Amino acid sequence: MQGPTSVNLDGIKAISFDLDDTLWAIKPVLLRAEKVSRDWLIANYPATQQFFETHSIMDLRAEMFAAFPERDYDLTFIRKECYGRILEFGGYDRSAVDAVYAVFKKQRDTLELYDDVMPFFEGLASDLIRIALTNGTASLARTPLKDEFHTYLNAFLVRAPKPEAAMFEAALDQHQLAPHELLHVGDDLVSDVGGALTLGIPTVWVNRHSKDWHDAHDRPHFVVNSLEQLAHLLC
């Protein structure tokens, strides 16, 4: 569990978590949400089928990020813009954008937590401040974790995605924490580990799939393969 550097956890007052791929696997969620929203579009706006037969929504999404670099923190805007373009491709106006996004979002918020998540939170010390920090759009109020966090911050709320400092700074400011009093836990060596280390925040990298990381630029203080290991670390 020990990373390449050590840090004293005795002074930790708060723990922050990334969400996607840290507390649940995001790929199957997005694949399902994409399929359901695509099927809804085709059923209600049949001419959009031609888009899906000839184009990739992932390519379109990349185009929207390139077209609106100043909105890289706003995944809802990017996705709605994609739906607007798809509707226009089929010869429709954009009036259904909010409706199809609602179909997508319902699926996006239907999550299956990793098996170790709820036992971990049930055993977590009650005096630790719990903070969710995500670049994604998950609505915690619709998940089994709705009562597990004191604070929820995402890229849209702070107008910047991790690894930029804004989200971490907002977490520190809201709870009047020094960097060494917050422990950040996440699966991404760049956005989670790198972003936190920039401010001197201790980090735990959750490496659920035993990825090789020894050539990584950003070096976590601790490495765990599960939240069960994290629980032992915090004991």
Same domain membership, residue 120 and residue 87: no
At residue 4, does pLDDT exceed 90? Answer: no
163 and 93, same structural domain?
no
Question: What pLDDT, in 10s, does the model give residues 146-170?
Answer: 999 999 999 999 999 999 999 999 9
Domain ends where: 108, 125, 160?
Answer: 108
127 and 208 inside one domain: yes
128 and 173 together in one domain = yes
pLDDT over 90 at 28, yes or no: yes
Q: What's the pLDDT score for residue 10? A: 86
- What pLDDT, on the 0 to 100 scale, is given for residue 8? 78
pLDDT confidence of residue 235: 84
* Structural domain for 225, as ranges: 14-24+113-234
Q: Using alpha carbons, list the distances in angstroms from residue 60 to 37, 63, 80, 84.
A: 15, 5, 11, 11
Taking a C-beta distance cutoff of 8 angstroms, is the pair 138, 108 a contact? yes
The fraction of the chain above a pLDDT of 90, given in percent, is: 89
Do 18 and 47 belong together in one domain?
Answer: no
Amino acid at site 203: T
**CA–CA dist 67, 70 (Å, integer):** 9
Residues 189 and 210 in one domain: yes
3-state helix, strand, coil in the chain (%, to 5): 50, 15, 40
Residue 100 placed within a domain: yes
Number of domains in the chain: 2
Has residue 2 been placed in a domain? no
Cβ atoms < 10 Å from Cβ of 85:
19
Averaged pLDDT for residues 23-39 = 98
Whether 95 and 152 share a structural domain: no
Looking at residue 7, its pLDDT comes to 74
Give dist(CA 22, CA 149) in Å, integer: 15
What CATH number is associated with residue 167?
3.40.50.1000
**Spatial distance between the Cα atoms of 90 and 34, rounded to a whole number of angstroms:** 18
For β-strands 182-186 and 14-17, DSSP reports them as parallel
Same domain, 43 and 148: no
- pLDDT at 169 (0 to 100): 99
- pLDDT tens figures, 54-67: 999 999 999 999 99
CATH code where residue 68 lies: 1.20.120.1600
Residue 1 has pLDDT above 60, yes or no: no
First to last CA, the chain: 13
The residue among 87, 108, 129 that closes a domain is 108
Q: Both 69 and 152 in a single domain?
A: no
Boundary of a domain, candidates 91, 108, 125: 108
Shared domain check, 136 and 227: yes
- At residue 2, the pLDDT reads 53
Give residue-wise pLDDT tens across range 226-235: 999 999 999 8
Residue 3 domain-assigned (yes or no): no
Phi, psi at 152, each rounded to 5°: -125, 125
Residue 124 pLDDT class (50, 70, 90 cuts): very high
Cα(42)–Cα(90) distance, integer angstroms:
10
Residues 103 and 142 in one domain: no
What is the per-residue pLDDT for 5? 57
Which tens digit of pLDDT belongs to each residue from 187-228? 999 999 999 999 999 999 999 998 877 766 778 999 999 999
pLDDT over 90 (residue 9) = no
Same domain, 123 and 61: no
Question: Which residue pairs from 100-106 have beta carbons closer than 8 angstroms and sit at least 24 positions apart in sequence?
Answer: 100/37, 100/40, 100/41, 101/37, 101/76, 103/36, 103/37, 103/40, 104/33, 104/34, 104/36, 104/37, 104/79, 105/33, 105/137, 105/139
- List, in sequence order, every residue forming a beta bridge with 113; answer none if it has no partner: 24
